[in-house]
Amino acid sequence: MFEPVTAFLERFGNVVGRILLTVVYFIAVAPVAIVYRAVADSLMTKRRPSSTYRPWEQINDTLEDARRQD
Amino acid sequence: MYILGLSFYYHDGSAALVKDGVVVAAGEEERFTRRKHDPGYPARAIAFCLEHEGITIDDVDYVVFYEKPFVKFERLLVTAFQTFPKSLRVFRESMLAWMQKKLWVRSHILEKLKIPKKKLLFADHHMSHAAASFFCSPFDEAAILTLDGAGEWTTSTMGHGKGTKIELVKEMRFPHSVGLLYSAFTAYCGFEVNEGEYKLMGMAPYGEPKYVDRIMQMIKIGDDGSLWQDMKYFAYHWSATHSFTPEFEKVMGRPARDPALEDKSLDPFYCDVAMSIQKVTEDIMKKMVDHVVSLTGCTNVCLAGGVALNSVANGKLVNETKAEQIYIHPAAGDDGGAAGAAMWACHHLLDVPRAKALDHAYLGSEYSDEQIEAFLREHGIVFEKYDDDAAFFERVADDLVAGKVGGWFRGRFEWGPRALGARSIIADASNPEMKEIVNAKIKFREAFRPFAPSVLQERAREWFELPEGDELWPARFMLYVVPVKDDKRDKIPAITHVDGSGRLQTVYADTNPDYHRMISTFEKKTGIPVVLNTSFNLKGEPIVETPAQAFNTFSRSEMDVLYLGNYVITKDAKKIIDSTPFHLRHEGDRIVEMVS
């Protein structure tokens, strides 16, 4: 009995979520992105270095480090 | 000490249980849920692992997730910023998935397993790959190379393993990725991404590497094998649906084939493209292997990550690079990340001494004779039972000689994507028509795709061109494609690909004695120590796990006979057991799923 209602709510939630994320994209992401694009090349799309290998910098060598998600 | 490794919410959700440094149980969730490449939380795989050891989650010392979710989330945000405004759709779709599930990995695990927070750890994605390969390898010291589509930021690493420690030295970062480059060409040639890469590899030998120069217009390869892609040709970093741009098609000279058309023809142009990208991939891997050997001074090399499943490239590394021995984990992709995460915590973090190398992949569930017989009787399935093993192997060998195709279900199922003689479809490799029969009538898959040979380890060098001195670790897991010896090719045509190669599995008497004995019996009758081996599933179906699934797949195909343990069921007994879940998945991942 509740299954169709749940399915409807899930679909409704997804539609609303997409609308909200579109708004977020143009209101919140846009200003940061415009500045970011101008100053950064994090994806290395403009530079062409002789090697794309870079030093491994992640530090995750203790139990404390390993409990973090970042 | 028990450590449970988990990978999920990306590709192939999996669980692996490590006890005192040894992987004792492991399985992909798809085997249990019957949804191919199921990325969901691996509840049933976890339950299997714990049940296999007869323990509860309270007996587990640590649970380790195979990647750092927040680092990947950062990459998605940065990529959205960097590719604004084209990234709207991929931002929307990926954020929706992250808000609903992926951001809450920690709370999902804590809630479902009910473990204290201090027991939950997070490994780096590529460290999980590296650990899966190095800590399961026979090497005390080795160079390590990981390669996949994308982890958090990383797409490849080079490092050094010694004893219980791994030091990753270098990384390559998204969007420059050998795995994603290969997937872009998979899509271009009309196959599904994260599904059709094997098909592209199988199609390559029908072509020539005519378009390497066109590919090289879009990428640059460094002396160390590092890859730089001109992203004006690629779209997977900003598109939810496409991995390449119209400019890519202009360079290649023809439009992409649409996967929805299911064009399975061997169009010479796309075969040449397949061979060209295979050649480029091999060149990259060879340069990387040479560089990591120089960097570390080690000629033992551990490979990991999805690209290490490119068995054609693997087969050339020992002969054509500075590497002398190679080890590849049987589940080299993200499924193996579960085992790697657990092994990393066990050895690298907790300094538990290393144990024997992982020399087999039989880590899944198994069913006793009593369970099999109970299933057969419950469903009124007519069977013959062989109490004498020797008589049973004689029966199987006789069936194969008579041209029958059999479903072979015996022992614990295999960890990783390959069937290695526990859940296999087997047939006579000397029958020239067998490839067509198995492709068309049993697997229902593309006619050009080759089948693998299982060969007795002690006879392998008589039948295949194998590098001298190589201990052939990858061949245990069917991860080497090598030439079949010239004088043997016409003796085993069903497993000899169009270019004279075969993706061999070496069968060892100490790790799979029954399978070894069956092939030995077949050899006594035919003089051929090789059988055709393909995974026990239909196209789009996960490999079977239970006797019921094996029986249903047998019934849905034109297989002649089914061997469930020592029980033999012939085709007259076929019927469908409706209560057993059956689901086919023929589509691959969407691009947004592939990169986020």
ipTM of the complex: 0.91
B156: closest chain A residue by CA:
A53
**CB spacing of B81 vs A37 below 8 angstroms:** yes
B226 touches chain A (CB under 8 A): yes
B174 touches chain A (CB under 8 A): yes
Q: In whole numbers, what is the pLDDT of chain B averaged over residues? A: 95
Spans of all domains in chain B: 369-573
A20 touches chain B (CB under 8 A): no
**CB spacing of A48 vs B228 below 8 angstroms:** yes
Contacts of B102-107 spanning 24+ positions with Cβ under 8 A: B102/B9, B102/B69, B102/B72, B102/B73, B102/B596, B103/B69, B103/B73, B105/A69, B105/B9, B105/B65, B105/B69, B106/A69, B106/B65, B106/B69
What is the third-level CATH fold of B369-573? DHBP synthase (3.90.870)
Please report which confidence band the pLDDT of residue B443 belongs to, taking 50, 70 and 90 as the band edges. confident
- For residues B506-510, average pLDDT: 97
Q: What would the two tokens of residue B27 be?
A: 């399985």
**CB spacing of B68 vs A25 below 8 angstroms:** no
- For residues B4-31, average pLDDT: 96
* Among the partner residues A32, A53, A70, nearest to B71 by beta-carbon distance: A70
Task: Report the Cα B383 to chain-centroid distance in Å.
Answer: 33
Each residue of B345-357: pLDDT tens digit? 999 999 999 999 9
A10 touches chain B (CB under 8 A): no
Q: What is the DSSP string of B7-27?
A: E-SSSS-EEEEEETTEEEEEE
Ramachandran region of residue B553, left (φ > 0), alpha (ψ -120 to 50) or beta? alpha
HSE toward the beta carbon, residue B69, CA cutoff 13 A: 24
Please report which confidence band the pLDDT of residue B174 belongs to, taking 50, 70 and 90 as the band edges. very high
Looking at residue B577, what is its pLDDT? 86
> With 90 as the cut, is the pLDDT of residue B57 above it?
yes
Portion 55-114 of B in contact with A at CB < 8 A: 64, 68-71, 74, 78-85, 88, 91-92, 95-96, 99, 105-106
- For residues B78-97, average pLDDT: 93
Please report which confidence band the pLDDT of residue B408 belongs to, taking 50, 70 and 90 as the band edges. very high
**CB spacing of B96 vs A58 below 8 angstroms:** no
Helix axes B88-100, B69-82, angle to 10 degrees: 160
Please report which confidence band the pLDDT of residue A1 belongs to, taking 50, 70 and 90 as the band edges. low
Each residue of B382-398: pLDDT tens digit? 999 999 999 999 999 99
Interface test with A, best of B1, B63, B72, B82 (most A CBs within 10 A): B82
A-chain CB neighbours of B124 within 8 Å are 58, 60
State the burial class of residue B233 (Cβ atoms within 10 Å of its Cβ: 0-12, 13-18, 19+). Answer: buried
A19: closest chain B residue by CA:
B92
Contact predicate B285/B310, CB 8 Å: yes
Interface test with B, best of A51, A54, A59, A68 (most B CBs within 10 A): A51
CB pairs under 8 A between A and B: 133
B175 touches chain A (CB under 8 A): yes
Q: What would the two tokens of residue A65 be?
A: 């480090």
B84: closest chain A residue by CA:
A33
Looking at residue B389, what is its pLDDT? 96
Portion 111-150 of B in contact with A at CB < 8 A: 117-118, 120-124, 127
**CB spacing of A22 vs B176 below 8 angstroms:** no
* Among the partner residues B64, B96, B231, nearest to A21 by beta-carbon distance: B96
What's this model's pTM, rounded to 2 decimal places? 0.95
**CB spacing of B173 vs A30 below 8 angstroms:** no
* Among the partner residues A24, A44, A66, nearest to B121 by beta-carbon distance: A66
> With 70 as the cut, is the pLDDT of residue B262 above it?
no
Is the preceding omega at residue B483 within 30 degrees of 0, hence cis? no
**CB spacing of A53 vs B71 below 8 angstroms:** no
B174: closest chain A residue by CA:
A43
**CB spacing of B105 vs A69 below 8 angstroms:** yes
More confident site: B319 or B524:
B524
